[in-house]
Structure 1
Amino acid sequence: MGNAHFSRERIRTGVLLVFLWMLGLISLSCAASLSASRQKLQVQKHLNRLNKPAVKTIKSPDGDLIDCIHISHQPAFDHPFLKDHKIQMRPNYHPEGLFDEDKISDTEKPKQRSNPITQLWHMNGKCPQGTIPIRRTKEEDVLRASSVKRYGKKKLRAIPQPRSVDPDLINQSGHQHAIAYVEGDKYYGAKATINVWEPKIQQPNEFSLSQLWILGGSFGEDLNSIEAGWQVSPDLYGDNNTRLFTYWTSDAYQATGCYNLLCSGFIQINSEIAMGASISPVSAYRNSQYDISILVWKDPKEGHWWMQFGNDYVLGYWPSFLFSYLADSASMIEWGGEVVNSEPDGHHTSTQMGSGHFPEEGFGKSSYFRNIRVVDDSNNLKAPKELGTFTEQSNCYDVQTGSNGDWGHYFYYGGPGKNPNCP
C-alpha cells in the first residue's frame, strides 16, 4: 500500500514537473515571439522614417531600388533645426584652380588615361528634375546591423591617428589604414582623384574603403569628421559591390552622423547621383583603370561644407550647424584606405585594401590617389605641404607617395592583408 502511494506521488510530481517545464517553454516562446514582433515593429518604423514616398522608382541591375524623392522630402529635413531651412541650390563660392589639374597633357601616355565612370542604376532610367535619387533601405539591411539604432553608423575608433598611435587601440578597434595626411594648418576642403576597385572581403562584418577625411577637433569624444569615397561593405549593403559613400560625425561616431542619407544631416540637391549606389565599371588588374574625383569644400559665405563628384556633379552640402570644430575649419586632412580586421588572436584577415596589391607594383596593378589638393583660407585649391604617410602594419597594407607633372601629388597604397609576412 505504501509503495503504491509513493508511486502515485512520484507520478503526480513528474506530471507537475512536465507541466511546469511545458509552461516555461510556452513562456519563453511567448517572450521570444513578443521580442521578435517588437523588433519587427521597430524595424518597420525605422524603414518608414528612411524610405520617403517616391515620385518614381528605378530598379537597378544589381537589385537596388532607387527612389526619386521630392527634394524637400529628403531625410535631412527630419532634423528639428532644418524644419524651416531654405535649400541652397548652388554654392556661393567654388574653389579656384579646380579644372587645371584634370587636363590631360599631350605627353601623358594613353594607357594612363582614366576612363569614364557611372552608377549601375543609370542603365534603367533617371530621376526627374526637382527630385533626388535615394537607395531604398530594405528590412534585411536593418536586420544585419547590431541594432536598429546602430544601423548606418560606423563603429567607434575608425580614424587613423598618425602622430599619437596607441598600439592597444589598434588591436582593440580592428581598423587598419594606409594613408597620406597633412596637419598643422587650417584647411577648408580637400580634393583627390581615386582609383576604383572591387576588393575581396573575407568576413561579412568586415569592409574595405578608400576615402578622404576632413577632420576637426581632437581624437577624443568631440572629433568632427566629413568623409567621402568608395567602399565595399557586405554588412551595410548586403553584397560585394563597390559603392559611392559619404559619412559625417560630430562626436567621434558615438551618437551623431551616418552613412549617406541614412539619417538627417546631408542635404542633397543633385538628381543624378545616388549615395550608396554601385559604381560601374571598376578597375581590373593589368587592364582598364577607372577613377573618380571627389571635392569637399567649405563655402566661405554660408559656412556649409559642399561635396562635388567628378567635374559635373555638385551633390549637396552638410549644414555648418551640424559641427563644432568644423564650423570654423579642419585641422587635418587624410586620404587613403581603411579595412576592418575581425580575426582574433593576432591573426590577420585576407580582406584586401585598394586593388589588393602593394604600392610598389605601380600603375595598372596597385590602387592610387592622384592630384591631391587642399583648399586654403582664400578658397584656392593648392598642393599640400609636407604630405605625411601612416600605416599600422606595412607588411599587410602599405603606402608610397610621389609627385609629377600630370598627377601632381599622388600615392599608391593598399595590399592583400594576410600573406607570408602578415600572418
Structure 2
Amino acid sequence: MKFGSCSDIFTIIFVLLLFSLLFSPVFSSKNFREENGTSIEGNKLKNMKSINARLRKINKPFVKSIKSPDGDIIDCMLFHLQPSFDIPELRGKLPLTPPELPKGHDDAGNSQELKQLWNSNGESCPNGTIPIRRTTASDIISNSKFGKKYSRKDIPSSPVHEHAFGYVNNGKFYGAKALLNIWKPIVIGDDFSLSQIWVLGDVPNRPVNSVEAGWQAYPSHNRDSLPRLFTYWTPNGYWSGCYNLDCPGFVHTSTRISLGAAIDPVSTYNGQQYDVAFMIWKDPKSSNWWLKVGNEVIGYWPASLFTDLRGHATTIEYGGEVFSTNLGGHTSTQMGSGHFPNEGYKKAAYARNLEVINYYNQLVDASNLKTSAEKPNCYDVQSGFNNVWRNYIFFGGSGHSPNCP
C-alpha cells in the first residue's frame, strides 16, 4: 500500500468513510421474499430483522462495488474495517513490513497466476482497501447448514466427511507449499468438494489447531458449482473457527484477490491443466501464519489466535475432502476431477511439488510422504516422485458406483 503523510491518510479515510456509509448494504422485505420465496409474516419478520442485523455487522462500509460475471458483488472495504479488527487485541495493528518469504521460494516457470472472475475485466480495488465478497441474506440462511469441518482424529469420527490425501507428520514444520490442480467437480445437493493444504498443530490429548487454504465447490452455499478460493482456521479441534472472513481471524491484505470468489479458468478432462501454488508459512519476524496464492500474498492468521500453532505445526496434509449428509447410499459428489488417481495426468486431480518449510525458513521436499483414504473405492490417492514434480499425489474419485454403494 502507498500512502502520503499521516494527515493525508486520516483525511482520505474520513472522506471515504463518510461516502461509503451511504452504501452499507441491507435488504428489504421484498429482497427477502425474492431471494428465499417466503413471506415475512410472524417469525419470518423476526428472522428478517435478525438477518438484517447480521448483514449490517458483516457488510461494512465500502468505497467501491464491483459486479462479477457470476453474479457476485465484490465490495472494496477500507482495510481497517475488516472483521479481524473487531477483535480488540488486533485493532490498530497494521502490518508494517511485508513477511519474509521462505528461502528457495521461486514460482518462476512452475506457477500460474490465480485468476478470479470478478476482476477478469481488469477491475481492481483502490489502495487502502481490500476486496470482500458481499454476504447476502441467502448466504446467512445457507450458513446455518454450512458443512462443519472435522479433524480425522475426532472421536467419534464424522461419517459425512471423506478424505484422500498425502501427509507428513511427527515433525516440526513452519509451513507448506503445493501446486493444486483446479477443477469443477459435480457436487450433489448440500454437499461440498474441495482440494487444499492443511497445516496442523496436532498434539496428543489436545484439540487440533489448523490453518487451511485451497479451492472449494459448494453450490448450495454459493448458488453455483464454480471452484472458489477459501481459507479456514480453527483453534480448538473444529469446535470454532471459520471460513474466509466470516468471523474475525484472518487478516486480508491483498487488493487483488477476494476470498470466496470464483476461480477461472479450470482444468478440463484430457485437456488443458490449470494449477496454482498455495503456500502457508510462519513469518520469522512476526510469528504470524501467512498465505500466498500464485504470485499474490493474500494475508495472515495472527499467531495469537492459537495455542500449539503459536510455535510450529506437527502435521502437513495435501489433498481432497468431500462433505455429504446423504443418507440413502453413498453420494455421487465428485472429488477432484471425478476420476480416480490411476488415470493419471490430465484426467485425475493432483497436488504436485509438495514441500514443507523448516526451522530455518527454507522450502524442502515433503520427504517420507504417506497417503490415506477412508473409502478408496469411492475416493482414492496415489503418491509418486519425479525430478520435475518432485513429491506429488493424484487423488479423487466419482463417489457412488457399483464399487462404492
TM-score, scaled relative to structure 1: 0.82
SS of match in other structure, 2:157: helix
Q: Classify 1:116/1:224 alpha carbon distance in 2 versus 1 (closer, same or farther; 3 Å).
A: closer
Moved over 6 A (4+): none
Bigger CA radius of gyration:
1
Matched, 1:295 2:279: yes
What residue in structure 2 maps to residue 420 of structure 1?
Answer: 402
2:131–2:256 CA contact under 8 A, matched in 1:
yes
Count of aligned pairs between the two proteins = 365
Aligned residues of 1:154 and 1:258 also touching (Cα < 8 A): no
Question: Is 1:61 aligned with 2:61?
Answer: no
Distance 2:98 2:259 in 1: 18
Give the letter aligned to residue 133 of structure 1.
P
Q: Could you tell which deviates more after superposition, 62-71 or 228-237?
A: 228-237
Say if 2:192 is the partner of 1:199.
no
CA distance in 2, matches of 1:221, 1:185: 17
Please tell me whether residue 48 in structure 1 is matched to residue 56 in structure 2: yes
The equivalent of 1:263 in structure 2 is 247
Deviation per residue, 1:376-421 (Å, 9 max, x gap): 0111000012111000010000000001111110010000001111
2:373 to 382, 387, 391: 391
Comparing 401-410 and 73-82, the one that deviates more? 73-82
Mapped to 2, the partners of 1:69 and 1:95 lie a distance apart of 30
Q: 1:325 to 1:154 in 2, by over 3 A?
A: farther
Equivalences for residues 247-286 of structure 1 within 5 A: 247-255=232-240, 257-286=241-270
8 Å Cα contact 2:74-2:132 kept in structure 1: yes
SS at match of 2:211: strand
Aligned residues of 2:188 and 2:332 also touching (Cα < 8 A):
yes
User: How far off its partner does 1:82 sit?
Assistant: 1.3
Q: Distance in 2 between matches of 1:238 and 1:264?
A: 24
TM-score, normalised relative to structure 2: 0.86
1:96 to 81, 99, 103: 103
Specify the code of the residue in structure 2 equivalent to 1:261: L
SS in 1 for 2:191: coil
- Shift in Å, 1:221: 6.7
Segments of 5+ residues of structure 2 without an aligned counterpart are 1-39
2:296 match: 313
Q: How does 1:182-221 map to 2 (within 5 A)?
A: 182-203=168-189, 205-218=190-203
In 2, Cα distance between equivalents of 1:220 and 1:279: 38
CA drift at 1:154: 4.8
Contact persistence 2:147–2:323 (CA under 8 A): no
Q: Percent identity?
A: 45
- Does the C-alpha gap of structure 1 residues 177 and 58 become closer, same or farther in structure 2, counting only changes over 3 Å? same
Aligned residues of 2:151 and 2:238 also touching (Cα < 8 A): no
Q: Gapped runs of 5+ residues in structure 1?
A: 1-31, 105-113, 148-152
CA distance in 2, matches of 1:324, 1:206: 31
User: CA separation in 2, counterparts of 1:144 and 1:118?
Assistant: 26
RMSD: 1.9
Bigger share in helix: 1
**Residue in 1 aligned with 2:136?**
138
